[in-house]
Chain A
Amino acid sequence: MSEIIITVTGVDKVGIVASISNYLKDNNVNIEDIKQSIMQDNFVMIMLCSIEKLQIPFKEFKEHLIELGKSLGMEIWIQKKDIFDKMHTI
């Protein structure tokens, strides 16, 4: 149960993917899948990541990532993947 979904939304600008990917790399978080699109003028990026090798507490990882998002003007949600699997699968 080490898969998480990172959802990034906000106004598109240069460097969003790079900044977030760097942060993930620094924390040994592997990106398994990534999808991005523009919805109603908003940039939306969803990443499926594995936190199996995460070295720091999850809470700390999450808070820093949300802060990083704020500094980029983006809203970031980080959730374990099974909440989506449960909610939308019979």
Chain B
Amino acid sequence: MLNFNQRQILETIEMIKIHHLDIRTVTLSLSLRDCITTDSTTTANKIYDKILKYASNLVSYANELEDEYSIPIVNKRIALSPISIIGEANTDCDYVKIAKMIDKAADAVGVDFVGGFSALVDKGFTKGDLKFFESIPEALSSTNKLCSSVNLGTSKAGVNMDAVLKTAEVIKKTAELTKDLDSIGAAKFVCFCNAVTDNPFMAGAFCGVNEAECALNIGVSGPGVVASAIKNLDKTADFGEVSNLIKKMAFKITTTGELIGRKLADKMNIPFGVIDLSLAPTPAIGDSVAEIFKAMGLEQAGASGTTMALAMLNDAVKKGGIMASSYVGGLSGAFIPVSEDSGMIEAVEKGSLTIDKLEAMTSVCSVGLDMIAIPGDTSKYTIAGMIADEMAIGMINKKTTAVRIIPVVGKTVGDTVEFGGLLGYAPIMPVNSFSSEIFVKRGGRVPAPLHSLNN
């Protein structure tokens, strides 16, 4: 009997050691519906206790698995039920108090981030949602590990344009309140169209109202693995071959991720949820989605052909992944954040990649305008217009889209901003200078689109 295959073992080690294959995140999805009370202090305390009860071993167990398999598990996170709902019955609706308590719990259990400071307002606001929106800037500027997200539209309900404008105001105010730290608060906030309820990635992870009591969701990565495999292909290999190779690499990445996810869920004695196989870059050289475009034959990310390259990549990643696991979920596909991807940063700096091209790319990949630094004096109406465009792409194409942009107070085009760690650094990108004010002030809801006559 063949006990092991030397070539396969060396390939696995090379993927981890040289091409940055890692488990990007293990995220505990935790329902807080049993923490609803009429008093914000009681609610906050119940949330704290519940996080400690379920997540106390998350980090130590993940570290044990890291040792056993010699594969890095980069982030340990928690995704909570949308707090707008959990805090709504509190007579004082003190969402900031809850935010601070969640941050305290995150420190106590040692996780990197906690998501779920969220609201789902695609069809309209409740009274609690309105108070929740007002609390976001202070909540983000007075905490370290809290992430916030809002869902502004769906293909079934249309897009809440009042919420779009309010979201732009939230982004501006959060940037202002954290201006001493290059407006980093805005990097911990994302708005969605068609948000998914089991996404393990930040800033948009939350435990959807349809989710179980708890589950362990896992996000794997490995753009470097895919880029390296394509680089080794002959330059004349056709797209069928390239796609097949990506599928094979996605299969390997996914099976590895699911193994670790199931082991961790077993250790924690909770159900395994989904595996999100998103090619998520980091600022490390070689851990870049833009490198994949280069490997495919484009001089830079953003060159003509990039949208096609991304469409094929995204599709092939999903095809390889669903062969490997029955429970692929989350945002699965390819992420195209700017500040977190050294190749994207280079493409911006060389003038190849613009916001307009990024917007086009978001119509064929997972997520959207991500980690893009823009001038601090960009008006809230322009930001609302950018969000509206992205929501339109998601609504019409029945896919998730998102906006995470950072108007960096005091900086403008030509400057760069350093967020540090996995958030990376970014050149400030120019935005369209013409006004969207009258358009975005119309408010109301953009009606849900027709789901037939798809032309």
Where the two chains meet, the residues of A that have a C-beta atom closer than 8 Å to any C-beta of B are: 5, 7, 32-33, 35, 37, 39, 44, 46, 48, 58-59, 62, 77-84, 86-88, 90
Contacts and interface: CB of A to CB of B under 8 A. Distances in A.
Contact of B8 (A33, A48, A77, A87): A87
A32 B71 contact: no
Interface of B: 3-6, 8-13, 64, 67-71, 251-252, 255-256, 258-259, 323
Contact of B12 (A58, A83, A90): A83
B259 A82 contact: yes
B67 A46 contact: no
Contacts, number: 62
Interface of A is mostly: strand
B259 A46 contact: no
A64 B323 CA distance: 39
B68 A48 contact: no
B323 to A, nearest CB: 8
A84 B4 contact: yes
Nearest to B66: A59
B6 A86 contact: no
Contacts of A58: 67-68
Interface of B is mostly: helix
26 contacts: A7-B10, A7-B13, A32-B3, A33-B3, A33-B4, A37-B6, A44-B10, A46-B9, A58-B67, A58-B68, A59-B67, A77-B70, A78-B70, A79-B69, A82-B259, A83-B69, A83-B256, A83-B259, A84-B4, A84-B9, A86-B255, A86-B259, A87-B255, A88-B11, A88-B12, A88-B252
Nearest to B259: A86
B245 to A, nearest CB: 15
Contacts of B70: 77-79
Given A7-B9, A46-B6, A80-B68, 4 more contacts: A33-B4, A37-B6, A79-B70, A87-B256
B258 A86 contact: yes
Q: Which residue among A5, A39, A86, A87 has the maximum number of chain B CB atoms within 10 Å of its CB?
A: A87
Contacts of A39: 10
B69 A80 contact: yes
B256 to A, nearest CB: 5
Contacts of B13: 7, 77
Contact of A84 (B8, B67, B68, B323): B8
> What 7 A-B pairs are tightest by C-beta distance, nearest first?
A86-B255, A88-B8, A33-B3, A86-B259, A79-B70, A87-B252, A48-B3
A35 B8 CA distance: 13
A76 to B, nearest CB: 10
B212 to A, nearest CB: 25
A27 to B, nearest CB: 16
A59 to B, nearest CB: 5
Contacts of B251: 90
Contacts of B252: 87-88
Contacts of A33: 3-4
A87 B8 CA distance: 9
A39 B6 CA distance: 11
Contacts of A46: 4, 6, 9
Q: Which residue among A7, A82, A88 has the maximum number of chain B CB atoms within 10 Å of its CB?
A: A88
